[in-house]
Structure 1
Amino acid sequence: MLSILPPGAALFTDHTVETAPAAARPAMETVNAAWGHLPQAVARMATSPHTLDGFLKMSALFESTTLDPHSRETVILTVATRNQCHLCVTLHETKLAGLGPPENPERLEAIRRFTHQVLASSGAVSDAELARFFQHGYDRQNALEVVLGIGAYTLSTLANRLTRSA
């Protein structure tokens, strides 16, 4: 195997606010202030300020959607599980558990299934699949918000796996 790195060297740098590219520093400072620390995934994603900024903006947009918190976390966990991002699965299982038990588990199962269907069909879900999703109290806006969540967390999970974030 050809490698340009010395043995044991990391593929991606765990940047600090001081070592990161200048364009990534404001986003890193915001995350550090909000979380009380700088997660490794953010430190490594900072290698590309555009990627870091894009994820943070998309994630904030997804958090502001009309989907309830349990539904949003279910979308995120569905994407993270599918993309085998163990870091995201652990983080978002903890976040989901912190929300307490859902009022309607069948509704969460419906959004999980719908998220899988959107992914499996590249968005070309059938009218029947949309109708099943709508029967659980979701609407057209929510269907598009699922797509936003898939986009945000596909970016995150693939970047985390690429950078080998723990």
Structure 2
Amino acid sequence: MTYIATLDLNNADAATAATLNAVKAKIGIIPNLFATLAKSPTALNSLLGMNETIANGALSASEREIIALATSQANSCHYCVSAHTLLGKNAGLNAQQMLSARAGNGSETRAGAIAGFTKALVEQRGHVDPATLDQFKSAGLSEADLLEIIVNVVATTLTNYTNNVARTDIDFPVVPLQLAA
């Protein structure tokens, strides 16, 4: 059952309605996540601002989806795992690559390092030991990459926590949260 209901566009103030309509114009729908965050324009605008900045970073769309999938799995966010499975497909990831990312792995060195660092970062709450960090750097991740991954994890964690608290209705094709053993 939903704990924080979505904001009905008809009940939104003018600024929030304009923001939600801009989301709809850009992606074709207003996902329930954004309609939930709209209950707090500060929360909605914070996420949109971060996403805009992140999209202009050095990481590719598929790399950002690897981060989102690994973060969402580690935070047990069913909504975001489902959403980012569709977004990952749209970014060029195949089903196996997405499952690997969710598990903190990857078939390619860089993708595996990104997923592994993301998983370690979330599970260890930022306290990744230097030997592990050195392994990620030796796999080709620069210091700038590590910092950009952190920013992506922060944005995804915001959505994960929002959906986990709100119990947002999933409005994407639902995928199982549990990874196969």
Alignment match, 2:162: 159
The correspondence for 1:97, drawn from 89, 109, 116, is 89
The correspondence for 2:149, drawn from 137, 146, 154, is 146
Kindly tell me the number of residue pairs found equivalent between the two proteins.
Answer: 158
Alignment match, 1:5: none
Alignment match, 2:31: 39
The correspondence for 2:111, drawn from 104, 108, 112, is 108
The correspondence for 1:70, drawn from 33, 47, 62, is 62
Shift of 1:56: 1.2
CA–CA distance in 1 between the matches of 2:142 and 2:28?
36
Shift of 1:148: 0.4
CA–CA distance in 2 between the matches of 1:122 and 1:64?
26
- Work out whether residues 4 and 166 of structure 2, in 8 Å CA contact, stay in contact via their aligned partners in 1: yes
- The percentage of aligned residue pairs carrying the same residue is 27
Task: Give secondary structure in 2 for the equivalent of 1:18.
Answer: helix
- Work out whether residues 21 and 46 of structure 1, in 8 Å CA contact, stay in contact via their aligned partners in 2: no
Alignment match, 1:55: 47
Instruction: Tell me the amino acid that sits aligned with residue 12 of structure 1.
Output: I
CA–CA distance in 1 between the matches of 2:153 and 2:143?
16
- Work out whether residues 110 and 136 of structure 1, in 8 Å CA contact, stay in contact via their aligned partners in 2: yes
| Gapped regions of structure 1 (runs ≥ 5) | 1-7
Structure 1 vs Structure 2 CA RMSD: 2.2
Instruction: Tell me the amino acid that sits aligned with residue 31 of structure 1.
Output: V
Q: Name the stretch that deviates more: 100-109 or 88-97.
A: 100-109
Shift of 1:19: 1.1
Matched, 1:18 2:10: yes
Alignment match, 1:4: none
Shift of 1:24: 2.1
Alignment match, 1:131: 134
CA–CA distance in 2 between the matches of 1:162 and 1:108?
30
- Using the size of structure 1 for normalisation, the TM-score is 0.83
1:37-59 superposed Cα distances (whole Å, 9 cap, x missing partner): 21111112111111111111112
Instruction: Tell me the amino acid that sits aligned with residue 40 of structure 2.
Output: S
Matched, 1:28 2:31: no
